[in-house]
Amino acid sequence: MGCEIVTVSADTQFVHLAWQREEKELANVQFHMGADRNGDLAKQFGIWNGGFALRGAYLIAPDGKLMTSEVNFLNLGRNIDEILRKFKANIYLGKKTTEGCPSKWKDEGDATLKPGPEMVGRVHEALHKK
């Protein structure tokens, strides 16, 4: 799909193996399981919390630019559908550079916004035009 998914924790690759083999929820995963043993990578994103990484998700474009960042505390999981939505929006916006994807945008074909003088105070009309 054009996106490599890399899960990252401070565990070793050996523990990653054991976890993936043991946990049925992970039986069919296809992603890379990265070992950030000293938190060097987590520290660059400011989410290293005394030996553990917070639940951070970062979307990096093919040109190396960080496009999306989301961090939850240790006790709250992330919604992968929302991350997928942001990924799709980034792909779309890469092609349509004059548009913006509003919060309810889900997929190509949904209403987008074209910022400009006509839109000032008229976002409602732009979003609900038929």
- Footprint of other proteins on this chain (CB under 8 A)? 2-11, 13-20, 23, 26, 29-36, 40-69, 73-75, 77-78, 83, 87, 90
Alpha-carbon distance values, 36 to 27, 70, 76, 119 (Å): 22, 19, 21, 45
Q: Which residues does residue 56 pair with via DSSP β-bridges, in sequence order?
A: 71
Rounded Cα distance between 49 and 9, Å, is: 12
Q: Which is nearer to other proteins, 38 or 98 (CB)?
A: 38
Rounded Cα distance between 110 and 129, Å, is: 11
- Whole-number minimum distance, CB 124 to other proteins, in Å? 27
The structure tokens 């093919």 sit at 62
- Whole-number minimum distance, CB 122 to other proteins, in Å? 27
Q: Which is nearer to other proteins, 42 or 101 (CB)?
A: 42
Q: Which is nearer to other proteins, 69 or 98 (CB)?
A: 69
